[in-house]
Structure 1
Amino acid sequence: MTRAQLAILPIREGRKADRRIVNLAARLRDPGATLIEVDVLNLSTDGFMARGAQLEIGTYVWLRVTGLEPQSCRVIWNEEDKAGFEFTTPLHGATVELLILNNRKPLPKNHFGPMGVR
């Protein structure tokens, strides 16, 4: 799969990097050493959005994705079962590309709404 085949969300005001729509299985390790299974829904060099995490804003956690050393990140927003995270140290663009190509799961049903992938 090439970069052109994967959706890229436009950079919104206040954002520094392109966000890539992804579906990556990952784990977060919180300060209490609890592993939380999450799905990373979008990813950029500066951070990511994940579903399945209920963490307080400002909490630091470690992101664990196959093929990547654990990455320190901070919760910057949360809403229902989704949260936004900022990497303590931004990822290199090539690292983001490799993660997407090597770890992508099939998109869940109705990921893009009722007319999306089924």
Structure 2
Amino acid sequence: MEMSFAAIKARIAEEVEAGERRRASRVDVGIDARVRPLGEEGCEATVLNLSDTGFMATSEGDYRVGSRIWLMVPGRDRRNAVVKWVAGHRFGAEFAEPRAMVKLL
């Protein structure tokens, strides 16, 4: 299967733009929290960064891409999210409700 030079350049440009958009709105934090998959007990976590649409955290829990979770921060309402990626003890999730970050800070 051949791919044209123009198609490769367009694909690279799309990936760079998506990465820039994602990083632009992140806020580095170190918030102690609890993460609980729906229907499970959950465990302690540290939220490493937040954006308007999601967060990255580290936790000893076993999270799977596509699973729904609750992010619970002491003194704040819990926020529902979907796990989007997992790498070791780190994972990223997308909030079910846009702009949930504002309610967590």
Q: TM-score, normalised by structure 2?
A: 0.72
CA drift at 1:42: 0.5
Conserved? CA contact 1:26–1:65, under 8 Å:
yes
- Where does 1:60-99 land on structure 2 (aligned, <5 Å)? 60-91=68-99, 94-96=102-104, 99=105
Conserved? CA contact 1:75–1:84, under 8 Å:
yes
Identical residues among aligned pairs (%)? 36
Aligned equivalent of 1:28: 35
Q: Which structure 2 residue ranges, 5 or more long, are not aligned?
A: 1-17
Structure 2 vs 1, CA of residues 57 and 64 (structure 1 numbering), >3 Å: closer, same or farther?
same
CA drift at 1:33: 2.3
Kindly indicate which of the two structures has a greater share of residues assigned to helix: 2
What is the number of residues matched between the two proteins? 87
CA drift at 1:35: 2.1
Conserved? CA contact 1:50–1:83, under 8 Å:
yes
Aligned equivalent of 1:110: none
User: What secondary structure, in the 3-state scheme, does the structure 2 residue paired with 1:15 have?
Assistant: helix
Aligned equivalent of 2:25: 18
CA drift at 1:87: 0.1
Conserved? CA contact 2:82–2:94, under 8 Å:
yes
Larger CA Rg, structure 1 vs 2: 2
Aligned equivalent of 1:102: none
Partners of 2:45 and 2:101 in 1: CA distance: 22
The code of the aligned residue for 1:43 comes to L
Residues 56-85 of structure 1, C-alpha deviation per residue, up to 9 Å, x if partnerless?
100001110023211110000000110001
The code of the aligned residue for 1:88 comes to A
Conserved? CA contact 1:24–1:41, under 8 Å:
yes
CA drift at 1:92: 5.3
User: What secondary structure, in the 3-state scheme, does the structure 1 residue paired with 2:103 have?
Assistant: helix
Q: Which structure 1 residue ranges, 5 or more long, are not aligned?
A: 1-10, 100-118
Q: TM-score, normalised by structure 1?
A: 0.64
Conserved? CA contact 2:52–2:102, under 8 Å:
no
